[in-house]
């Protein structure tokens, strides 16, 4: 087999050749997009050789394989990550230099696949990187959304959503796999018959959609392993179902085509808020069914029809409940397609499926209307009824006569299909994403299930791939670290601990500081280019970047900035280091309060800019369109990482880890993984404030929280909130924030006032800010703390997380 040599001259030849053959241009006359395509497809060729070998080795080894099912994979750009993992960064850099190509101009031509909202999707992407780097055979499976998460513009201080057409220029990294096209059925009626003494079920008059897989290679760091991200696209059969058409069922033929067209159109932009939308359910079933059909086909090709072997060869991991229909679908395939009886089908399914929970927020728990499920997926609904019957029977022996409790635990109850209950009841493993979250699951949300089978539950703290979030995103720091402690941390992030003694080294601290400064300038180039705003590197870069949600409390940050502004305005002798507040956050388009908070932050930015003295101390910048690529420039530039969620609400958080790894200090609550950052760095290297999770829980139970009392006693809060309504922030529309005001002090639409305890935690937050700013003024102290944060961040590498998943759950090799 001919193999190309990807040394510097091979790379150059390939790029020049592709430009000539694809576009008829030279390196000089090529557009940046053409140069990107030529370089990326050269890298792809290099990967293809490995992919092929990897597949052959796989088939030969006959080992167990992981399918990681997720409605979201927030991949970010691939080119630089692939170069790092192929250990080809230097060769390509040299080739680019010799061809007089600017690598940075080329990289930003790659459209970012935004096939995710936030944490859950980005976690899935980090996991893929670690799975390949740890040589674990796996396939990520999801939907090939034509439009990823919307692009955000800020116009007149408000969010405007634009479509994200990430596929418009084609996708270099994917290949269509025609031989794995399969069919997924919706609607129809179930026919029951007895064949050879066995009850068999067939679906009639269903809508059938083709599922077309596209594969993207996932390269591991310095290994031969290349795994796959498979995205499923929905197509109507041969464009239009001629059989149905031929029978004169024109409407139905049209309907099928339309359904196929919409199923993979868009990614739903709500995270942490669930709605019973039929299309969303269809999306989920569509990719789950296609994935399972493929997995069984692949299994049979290798092992024939001995399905008792399935749990030894295959594990399906479901990323939250969104792919939870994998459970009834696997049972369906084993019974209806493979001819198994119910008992073995259920037993095998149980042993093959593991589930991770990512939220305890009630409004985020999926509950599908039973009628909808029955109509759209009649056979799946039948299976859910049987699963529910058997599961409740079992629960009844554990909780005799406790009907209320069993109703809360049931798969089907109160007219709804309760997806979390389905997953907890049927999966062999249930895990939380941080130690605190795991505890909240077993003591709260899933307590009653926990009592029936404690061994099933675990907590595995999330992680991030240090290859993207340090090596790729922060080349300056990476270079410095490499010169200081060697390159052991490339492979093993725990080796970052070697940095600890260098916190005491003044020369090192100075270099560390210089890197941060360059990173601030890099970020400034982005804001300059995108928003026409220059960032002053002499300011502290204080960042809150994450989806916009009330529980994440961007409002607490903003309110505090407003209080600082008032202090400056009132005190002509005010002095403090200048501080830049950066916000990056998309709001779900239908989330009214979140959008109001965006308006508030932007109005605040304007107010401060217009005050000559205040703007010497404070600046607020709202970063447009926060996405993975923005995060890669943002994290390395940050001094402060704001992690303000109401304790008990943020399952883990992963942005917190990215900031830490890049030397930012955390200002945060004892929530999610912040608790573990605290444990890693120690109390003196983090700024903790606010109520603990148990206290918050207690306050909810008591129901006596009264934010109005705080408003009445705290003059600074009263002043700030009054300015919300007196035209200070919105001279032309003084009542713009009225609803936020009501929500904080009175509660609206039946909700409790200040449900996330913004005012309650304000005092403690303000004190933590003071402590932090005092420390910042001593450069030596601050830099030591920042260095300790980097040194202790190795624990949060997703390599550690994936090792733990594999040891405790998947048990592959
Ligand atoms: C479900 C049904 C219908 C529409 C939307 C959804 C939906 C989509 C996305 C519900 C939730 C999500 C995303 C949740 C998420 O990102 N959770 C975060 O997961 C991270 C990784 O574990 C954690 O670090 C965060 O704490 C958690 O908020």
* Residue with tokens 């502290």, as numbered in its chain: 540
Supply φ then ψ for residue 231, to 5 degrees. -110, 135
Whether the predicted pLDDT of 2 surpasses 60: no
Q: Which helix (H) or strand (E) holds 711?
A: helix 707-713
Supply φ then ψ for residue 180, to 5 degrees. -105, 15
- What is the position in ligand 1's atom list of the atom closest to the CA of 277? 3
- Nearest by Cα to 394 from 327, 343, 449, 352: 449
Q: Which helix (H) or strand (E) holds 199?
A: strand 198-204
**Local structure of 273: helix, strand or coil:** coil
- Residue of the nearest CA to atom 9 in ligand 1? 271
Give the model's pLDDT for residue 483.
98
Buried b / exposed e along 66-83 (16+ C-beta atoms within 10 A): bbbbbbbbbbbbbbbbbb
Q: How sure is the predictor about 805, in pLDDT bands with cuts at 50, 70 and 90?
A: very high
Q: Please report the beta strands in 296-428, taking only residues with DSSP state E, as ranges in sequence order.
A: 314-319, 353-356, 367-369, 412-413, 416-418
Q: Ligand 1 pocket check: which of 271, 277, 798 to mutate, most ligand atoms within 8 Å of Cβ?
A: 271
What's the average model confidence in pLDDT over 567-575? 97
Give the model's pLDDT for residue 97.
97
Per-residue pLDDT tens for 63-77?
999 999 999 999 999
What's the average model confidence in pLDDT over 689-693? 98
pLDDT mean across residues, the chain: 96
Per-residue pLDDT tens for 450-468?
999 999 999 999 999 999 9
- Residue of the nearest CA to atom 13 in ligand 1? 271
Q: Do residues 418 and 412 lie in contact, with contact meaning Cβ atoms separated by under 8 Å?
A: yes
- Nearest by Cα to 380 from 323, 302, 322, 325: 325
Q: Please report the beta strands in 226-347, taking only residues with DSSP state E, as ranges in sequence order.
A: 226-235, 314-319
What's the average model confidence in pLDDT over 241-262? 77
Torsion sign (Cα): 469, 472, 474, 479: positive
Cα separation, 688 vs 668, in Å, equals 5
Residues 6+ apart with CB under 8 A from 482: none
What's the average model confidence in pLDDT over 409-425? 98
Predicted model pTM: 0.97
Q: Ligand 1 pocket check: which of 70, 118, 591 to mutate, most ligand atoms within 8 Å of Cβ?
A: 118
> What token pair was written down for 796?
């949060």
Cα separation, 44 vs 464, in Å, equals 24
Q: Please count the helices (runs of H) and the strands (runs of E) in the chain.
A: 35, 23
Q: Do residues 712 and 718 lie in contact, with contact meaning Cβ atoms separated by under 8 Å?
A: yes
Whether the predicted pLDDT of 242 surpasses 90: no
Cα separation, 313 vs 303, in Å, equals 9
| Annotated catalytic residue 142 | no
| Annotated catalytic residue 12 | no
Quickly count: other Cβ atoms within 10 Å of residue 304's Cβ: 9
| Annotated catalytic residue 586 | no
Cα separation, 279 vs 234, in Å, equals 13
| Annotated catalytic residue 547 | yes
- In the chain, % helix, strand, coil (3-state, to 5) comes to 55, 15, 30
Spell out which residues line ligand 1, taking CB within 6 angstroms.
117-120, 123, 268, 270-272, 274, 280, 322, 358-359, 364, 366, 433, 462, 650-654, 672
DSSP state of 467: I
Distance 564 CA to ligand 1 centre (A): 33
Distance 365 CA to ligand 1 centre (A): 10
> What token pair was written down for 364?
């985020």
Per-residue pLDDT tens for 356-399?
999 999 999 999 999 999 999 999 999 999 999 999 999 999 99
- What is the position in ligand 1's atom list of the atom closest to the CA of 547? 16
How far is CA 808 from each of CA 43, 305, 804, rounded to the nearest angstrom? Answer: 35, 28, 6
- Nearest by Cα to 473 from 41, 65, 39, 77: 77
> What token pair was written down for 9?
């001259």
Distance 280 CA to ligand 1 centre (A): 14
Distance 234 CA to ligand 1 centre (A): 24
> What token pair was written down for 785?
């703390």
Whether the predicted pLDDT of 252 surpasses 80: no
Cα separation, 24 vs 780, in Å, equals 57
Residues 6+ apart with CB under 8 A from 343: none
Cα separation, 460 vs 795, in Å, equals 12
Whether the predicted pLDDT of 241 surpasses 70: no
Give the model's pLDDT for residue 1.
42
Per-residue pLDDT tens for 735-769?
999 999 999 999 987 789 999 999 999 999 999 99
Cα separation, 633 vs 529, in Å, equals 13
Give the model's pLDDT for residue 3.
58
Whether the predicted pLDDT of 550 surpasses 50: yes
What is the bridge-based pairing of β-strands 198-204 and 189-195?
Answer: antiparallel
Q: Ligand 1 pocket check: which of 125, 272, 436, 461 to mutate, most ligand atoms within 8 Å of Cβ?
A: 272
What is the bridge-based pairing of β-strands 412-413 and 416-418?
Answer: antiparallel
| Annotated catalytic residue 332 | no
Q: Which helix (H) or strand (E) holds 96?
A: helix 89-98
> What token pair was written down for 158?
């408000």
- Nearest by Cα to 231 from 303, 325, 167, 152: 167
Q: Ligand 1 pocket check: which of 364, 431, 590 to mutate, most ligand atoms within 8 Å of Cβ?
A: 364
Q: Which helix (H) or strand (E) holds 807?
A: none
Torsion sign (Cα): 229, 234, 238, 244: positive
What's the average model confidence in pLDDT over 195-217? 95
Question: Which residue in the list 208, 291, 654, 669 is annotated as catalytic?
Answer: 654
Could you give the angle at the alpha carbon of 697 between the alpha carbons of 118 and 392, nearest 5°?
80
Q: Which helix (H) or strand (E) holds 544?
A: strand 540-545
Give the model's pLDDT for residue 301.
96
Ordered DSSP codes for 107-168? HTTSPP--B--SHHHHHHHHHHHHHHHTT--EEEEEE--SB-SPEEEEETTEEEEE---TTT
Question: For the CA atoms of the chain, what is the radius of gyration?
Answer: 27
- Residue of the nearest CA to atom 21 in ligand 1? 120
Q: At what angle do helices 592-609 and 738-745 cross, to 10 degrees?
A: 110
* Residue with tokens 């402590």, as numbered in its chain: 771
Distance 442 CA to ligand 1 centre (A): 19
Cα separation, 520 vs 219, in Å, equals 30
What is the bridge-based pairing of β-strands 665-668 and 640-643?
Answer: parallel
Cα 552 to the chain's mean position, in Å? 15
Distance 588 CA to ligand 1 centre (A): 12
Question: Which residue in the list 547, 560, 579, 586 is annotated as catalytic?
Answer: 547
Q: Do residues 283 and 600 lie in contact, with contact meaning Cβ atoms separated by under 8 Å?
A: no
Q: Do residues 24 and 17 lie in contact, with contact meaning Cβ atoms separated by under 8 Å?
A: no
> What token pair was written down for 283?
């999306």
- What is the position in ligand 1's atom list of the atom closest to the CA of 462? 22
Q: How many CA atoms lie within 13 A of 740 on its CB side?
A: 30
- Residue of the nearest CA to atom 15 in ligand 1? 120
> What token pair was written down for 185?
């059925």
Whether the predicted pLDDT of 650 surpasses 80: yes
| Annotated catalytic residue 658 | yes
Q: How sure is the predictor about 239, in pLDDT bands with cuts at 50, 70 and 90?
A: low
Cα 800 to the chain's mean position, in Å? 18
Q: Which residues pair with 496 in a beta bridge?
A: none
> What token pair was written down for 616?
């010497």
Percent of residues, the chain, with pLDDT higher than 90: 93
Whether the predicted pLDDT of 563 surpasses 90: yes
Q: Do residues 39 and 15 lie in contact, with contact meaning Cβ atoms separated by under 8 Å?
A: yes
- What is the position in ligand 1's atom list of the atom closest to the CA of 437? 26
Ordered DSSP codes for 224-252? S-EEEEEEEEEE-GGGS-HHHHHTT-HHH
**Local structure of 73: helix, strand or coil:** strand
Residues 6+ apart with CB under 8 A from 325: 284, 285, 288, 289, 377, 380
Distance 696 CA to ligand 1 centre (A): 22
How far is CA 540 from each of CA 364, 577, 638, 694, 788, rounded to the nearest angstrom? Answer: 35, 7, 8, 33, 19
Q: Which residues pair with 200 in a beta bridge?
A: 193
- What is the position in ligand 1's atom list of the atom closest to the CA of 364? 10
């Amino acid at each position: 087999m001919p193999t190309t040599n990807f040394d510097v001259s091979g790379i150059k030849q390939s790029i020049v050749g592709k430009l000539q053959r694809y576009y008829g241009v030279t390196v000089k006359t090529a557009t940046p997009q053409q140069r990107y395509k030529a370089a990326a497809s050269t890298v792809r060729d290099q990967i293809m050789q490995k992919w092929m070998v990897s597949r052959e080795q796989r088939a030969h080894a006959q080992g167990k394989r992981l399918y990681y099912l997720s409605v979201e994979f927030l991949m970010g750009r691939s080119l630089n990550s692939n170069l790092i993992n192929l250990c080809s960064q230097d060769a390509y850099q040299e080739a680019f230099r010799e061809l007089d190509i600017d690598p940075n101009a080329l990289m930003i031509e790659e459209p970012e696949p935004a096939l995710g909202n936030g944490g859950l999707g980005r976690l899935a992407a980090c996991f893929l990187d670690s799975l390949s780097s740890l040589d674990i055979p796996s396939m990520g499976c999801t939907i090939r959304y034509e439009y990823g998460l919307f692009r955000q513009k800020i116009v007149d201080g408000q969010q405007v959503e634009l479509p994200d057409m990430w596929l418009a220029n084609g996708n270099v990294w994917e290949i269509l796999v025609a031989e794995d096209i399969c069919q997924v059925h919706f609607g129809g009626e179930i026919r029951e018959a007895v064949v050879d003494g066995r009850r068999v079920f067939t679906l009639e008059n269903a809508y059938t959609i083709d599922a077309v897989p596209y594969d993207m290679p996932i390269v591991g760091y310095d290994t031969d392993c290349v795994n796959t991200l498979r995205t499923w696209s929905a197509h109507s059969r041969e464009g239009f179902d001629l059989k149905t058409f031929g029978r004169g069922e024109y409407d139905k033929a049209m309907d099928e085509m339309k359904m196929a067209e919409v199923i993979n159109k868009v990614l739903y932009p709500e995270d942490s808020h669930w709605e019973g939308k039929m299309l969303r359910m269809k999306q989920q079933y569509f990719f789950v069914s296609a994935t399972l059909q493929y997995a069984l086909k692949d299994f049979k090709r290798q092992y024939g029809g001995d399905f008792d072997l399935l749990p030894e060869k295959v594990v399906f991991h479901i990323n939250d409940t969104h792919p939870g229909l994998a459970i009834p679908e696997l049972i369906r395939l084993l019974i209806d397609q493979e001819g198994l009886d119910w008992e073995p089908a259920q037993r095998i399914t149980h042993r093959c499926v593991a589930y991770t929970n990512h939220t305890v927020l009630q409004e985020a728990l999926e509950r599908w209307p039973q009628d909808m499920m029955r109509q759209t997926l009649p056979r799946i609904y039948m299976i859910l009824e049987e699963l529910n019957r058997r599961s409740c029977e079992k629960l009844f022996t554990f909780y005799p006569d406790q009907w209320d409790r069993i109703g809360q635990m049931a798969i089907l109850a109160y007219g709804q299909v309760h997806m979390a209950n389905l997953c907890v009841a049927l999966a062999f493993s249930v895990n939380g994403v941080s130690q605190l979250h795991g505890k909240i699951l077993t003591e709260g949300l899933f307590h009653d299930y926990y009592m029936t089978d404690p061994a099933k539950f675990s907590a595995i703290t999330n992680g991030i791939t240090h290859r993207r979030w340090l090596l790729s995103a922060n080349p300056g720091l990476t270079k410095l670290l490499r010169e200081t402690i060697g390159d052991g941390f490339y492979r093993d992030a725990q080796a970052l601990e070697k940095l600890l003694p260098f916190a005491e080294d003044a020369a090192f601290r100075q270099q560390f500081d210089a890197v941060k400064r360059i990173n601030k300038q890099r970020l400034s180039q982005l804001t300059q280019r995108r928003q026409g705003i220059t960032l002053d590197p002499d300011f502290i870069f204080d960042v809150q970047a994450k989806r916009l949600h009330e529980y994440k409390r961007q409002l607490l940050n903003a309110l505090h900035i407003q209080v600082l502004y008032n202090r400056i305005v009132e005190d002509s002798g005010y002095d403090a280091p200048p501080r830049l507040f950066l916000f990056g956050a998309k709001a779900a388009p239908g989330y009214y309060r979140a959008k109001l908070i965006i308006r508030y932050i932007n109005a605040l930015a304007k107010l401060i800019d217009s005050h000559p003295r205040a703007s010497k101390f404070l600046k607020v910048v709202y970063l447009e369109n926060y996405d993975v690529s923005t995060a890669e420039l943002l994290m390395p530039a940050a001094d402060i990482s704001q992690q303000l969620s109401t304790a008990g609400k943020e399952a883990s958080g992963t942005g917190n880890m990215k900031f830490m790894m890049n030397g930012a200090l955390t200002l945060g609550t004892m929530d999610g993984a912040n608790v573990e950052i605290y444990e890693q760095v120690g109390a003196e290297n983090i700024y903790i404030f606010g109520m603990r999770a148990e206290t918050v829980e207690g306050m909810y139970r008591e129901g006596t929280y009264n934010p109005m009392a705080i408003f009445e006693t705290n003059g600074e809060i009263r002043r700030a909130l009054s300015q919300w309504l007196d035209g200070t922030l919105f001279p032309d529309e003084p009542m713009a924030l009225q609803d936020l005001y009501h929500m904080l002090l009175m509660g609206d639409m039946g909700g409790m006032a200040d449900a996330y305890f913004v005012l309650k935690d304000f005092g403690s937050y303000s004190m933590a800010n003071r402590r932090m700013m005092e420390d910042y003024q001593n450069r030596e102290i601050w830099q030591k703390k920042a260095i300790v944060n980097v040194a202790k961040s190795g624990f949060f590498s997703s390599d550690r997380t994936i090792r733990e998943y594999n040891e405790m759950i998947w048990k592959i090799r």
